[in-house]
C-alpha cells in the first residue's frame, strides 16, 4: 500500500473513526483502525463489534492495499505531523511508514485479514432526512437516555416513523424527552431502538445544513450514511415503553412563561447545589396567578427568585432535580413555553404554546 493524503482530512477521519475502536477488547486487532486504499481513495474503519464507523477520504493512491494500525498512536502521530501532506506506505512485513516533511515514523501494523466485517444493512427499509433536522432531534433528546445497564431497553432512543412524522423519544425513568417533526407523506413506517452511543456518534457526522443522510434499517442493525461517513450499529431488541401513556391526559395547573427567565433562574439556583445532590432540589411554587417563585436552599446558602408568568388552575409547590429542568429548557428554541402540572406529586410536562413538536416530562422529587 502506498498513498499521499491531506493531513487535515486524515485527522478528521481518524477522530470520527476512533470512537468505534474498542478500548476493552481482548482482540488486539480491534484496538486498531483498518486502512484500505484503492482507486477510489482511502477508507478508514473502526469497529468494536457493536458499532462500526467508516470514513472515506480522498487520496492519491499509488499502490492499493489494506492494513490495520494501532488507533491511539496513529491518531497522535498524524495530529503532530509538520506538513500538510502525509505519505503512508506499508510492506509485506506489516511495517507502516508515515512521512510528512522531515518526519518519518515506522509503526508495526497488523494484517487486515483478521479484521471483522461490519454487518451489511440492506436498502429495503430506508429514510432520507436533512442532516440538520436529524442532528437537532438527536441533541434535543439524547440527554434523557438512561445509563442504567440494568434497564437496557432505556439505553437508547426510540426512532419512529408513522408515514408522515418522525418521532425521537428518550426515557430514563425520571424524565422523558420527545421530539416530533413532520417530514412528508411518503415516509416508510418504521420503528426501532438505537443505542445512545450510536446516536452520539451519528450527531457528530451530521454537519451538513443542506445535506442529506440516508438511514437504512434491518432487523438487528441500523446504518447512517452521509456519503463521507457511515455508521453501523446493532439495534436494541425489545419493546420500548408506551411514551403516549406516560404523559398525563389532564393537568391541574397550566403555566405560560418565558423559557429563558425560568432557565436562568434555575441555573442561578444550581450554583449553590452540590453536584448530583438530590436532597437539595430546586423548588417551584406559586404565590399567585402571575408569579412563579424559584428557590434553592443548601448548606452553602439560599436563593429566592420571582419570575412573571400566566397561571391558570391550582397553585402548586413542587421540587425538581435542577439538572432535569435545565436539560429540557436548553433543548427548546422557543422563547415562551407551557408547563403542565399534575399537582405537587405528579409528572410535570413542558410543551409548546402552540403545536406538538416537543414534549419534556419530568418527575418531581418526593418531599
pLDDT 10s digits, 166-218: 999 999 999 999 999 998 777 888 899 999 999 999 999 998 788 999 999 99
pLDDT for 100: 96
Q: Mean pLDDT throughout 118-145? A: 93
Contact 247, 359 (CB under 8 A): yes
Percent over 70 (pLDDT), the chain: 98
Whether the CA torsion 169, 156, 154, 318 is positive or negative: it is: negative
pLDDT for 188: 86
- Angle of helix 71-80 versus helix 7-17 axis, rounded to 10: 150
Q: What is the DSSP letter of 354?
A: S
pLDDT for 278: 58
- CA 310 from centroid of its chain's CA atoms: 34
Instruction: Give 297's pLDDT tier (boundaries 50, 70, 90).
Output: confident
pLDDT for 276: 62
Class of domain 2-114: alpha beta
| Closest to 51 in 3D by CA, of 263, 232, 321, 224 | 232
pLDDT for 277: 55
Mean pLDDT lowest among 61-65, 77-81, 99-103, 274-278: 274-278
Contact 290, 311 (CB under 8 A): yes
pLDDT for 351: 98
**Is 367's pLDDT higher than 70?**
no
**Are 126-244 and 247-362 the same fold in CATH?**
no
| Closest to 163 in 3D by CA, of 134, 144, 183 | 183
Mean pLDDT lowest among 269-278, 302-311, 332-341: 269-278
Mean pLDDT lowest among 11-15, 55-59, 85-89, 126-130: 126-130
Mean pLDDT over all residues of the chain? 93
**Is 68's pLDDT higher than 90?**
yes
| Residue position matching grid coordinates 483502525 | 33
- CA 350 from centroid of its chain's CA atoms: 21
pLDDT for 24: 75
Q: Give domain 126-244's CATH superfamily.
A: DNA Polymerase III, subunit A, domain 2 (3.10.150.10)
Q: What is the DSSP letter of 367?
A: -
Percent over 90 (pLDDT), the chain: 86
Contacts of 116 (CB under 8 A, 6+ apart): 29, 30, 47, 49
Instruction: Give 287's pLDDT tier (boundaries 50, 70, 90).
Output: confident
Q: Give the model confidence (pLDDT) of 218-241 as tens digits.
A: 989 999 999 999 999 999 999 999
SS3 24: coil
Q: What is the DSSP letter of 280?
A: S
- Angle of helix 196-205 versus helix 7-17 axis, rounded to 10: 160
**Is 35's pLDDT higher than 90?**
yes
Whole-number Å distance between alpha carbons of 345 and 240: 25
Mean pLDDT lowest among 18-32, 275-289, 348-362: 275-289
Q: The domain at 247-362 falls in which architecture?
A: Box (3.70)
pLDDT for 93: 95
| Closest to 356 in 3D by CA, of 133, 168, 180 | 180
Domain boundaries, the chain: 2-114, 126-244, 247-362
Whole-number Å distance between alpha carbons of 108 and 80: 19
SS3 89: strand
Amino acid at each position: 500500500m502506498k498513498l499521499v493524503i491531506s493531513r487535515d482530512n486524515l485527522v478528521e477521519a481518524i477522530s470520527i473513526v476512533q470512537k468505534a475502536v474498542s478500548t476493552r477488547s481482548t482482540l488486539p486487532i480491534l484496538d486498531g483502525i483498518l486502512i484500505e486504499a484503492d482507486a477510489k481513495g482511502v477508507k478508514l474503519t473502526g469497529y468494536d463489534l457493536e458499532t462500526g464507523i467508516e470514513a472515506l477520504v480522498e487520496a492519491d493512491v499509488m499502490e492499493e492495499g489494506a492494513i490495520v494500525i494501532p488507533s491511539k498512536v496513529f491518531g497522535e502521530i498524524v495530529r503532530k505531523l509538520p506538513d500538510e501532506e502525509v505519505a503512508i506506505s506499508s510492506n509485506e512485513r506489516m511495517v507502516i511508514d508515515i512521512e510528512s516533511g522531515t518526519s518519518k515514523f515506522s509503526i508495526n501494523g497488523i494484517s487486515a485479514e483478521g479484521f471483522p466485517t461490519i454487518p451489511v444493512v440492506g436498502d429495503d427499509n430506508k429514510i432520507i432526512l436533512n442532516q440538520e433536522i436529524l442532528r437537532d432531534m438527536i441533541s434535543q433528546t439524547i440527554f434523557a437516555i438512561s445509563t442504567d445497564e440494568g434497564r437496557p431497553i432505556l439505553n437508547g432512543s426510540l426512532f419512529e416513523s408513522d408515514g408522515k412524522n418522525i418521532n425521537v423519544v428518550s426515557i430514563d425513568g425520571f424524565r422523558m424527552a420527545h421530539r416530533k417533526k413532520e417530514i412528508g407523506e411518503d415516509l416508510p413506517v418504521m420503528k426501532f431502538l438505537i443505542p445512545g452511543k450510536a446516536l452520539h456518534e451519528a450527531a457528530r457526522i451530521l454537519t451538513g445544513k443542506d445535506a442529506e443522510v440516508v438511514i437504512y434499517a434491518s432487523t438487528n442493525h441500523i446504518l447512517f450514511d452521509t456519503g463521507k461517513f457511515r455508521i453501523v450499529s446493532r439495534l436494541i431488541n425489545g419493546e420500548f415503553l408506551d411514551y403516549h401513556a406516560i404523559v398525563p391526559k389532564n393537568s391541574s395547573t397550566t403555566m405560560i412563561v418565558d423559557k429563558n427567565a425560568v432557565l436562568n433562574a434555575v441555573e442561578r439556583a444550581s450554583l449553590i447545589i452540590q453536584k448530583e445532590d438530590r436532597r437539595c432540589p430546586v423548588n417551584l411554587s406559586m404565590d399567585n396567578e402571575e408569579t412563579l417563585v424559584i428557590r434553592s436552599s443548601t448548606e452553602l446558602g439560599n436563593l429566592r427568585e420571582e419570575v412573571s408568568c400566566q397561571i391558570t388552575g391550582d397553585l402548586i409547590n413542587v421540587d425538581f432535580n435542577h439538572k432535569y429542568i435545565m436539560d429540557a429548557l436548553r433543548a427548546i428554541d422557543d422563547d415562551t413555553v407551557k408547563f403542565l402540572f399534575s399537582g405537587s406529586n405528579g409528572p410535570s410536562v413542558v410543551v409548546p404554546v402552540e403545536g406538538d413538536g416537543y414534549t419534556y416530562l419530568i418527575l418531581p422529587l418526593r418531599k
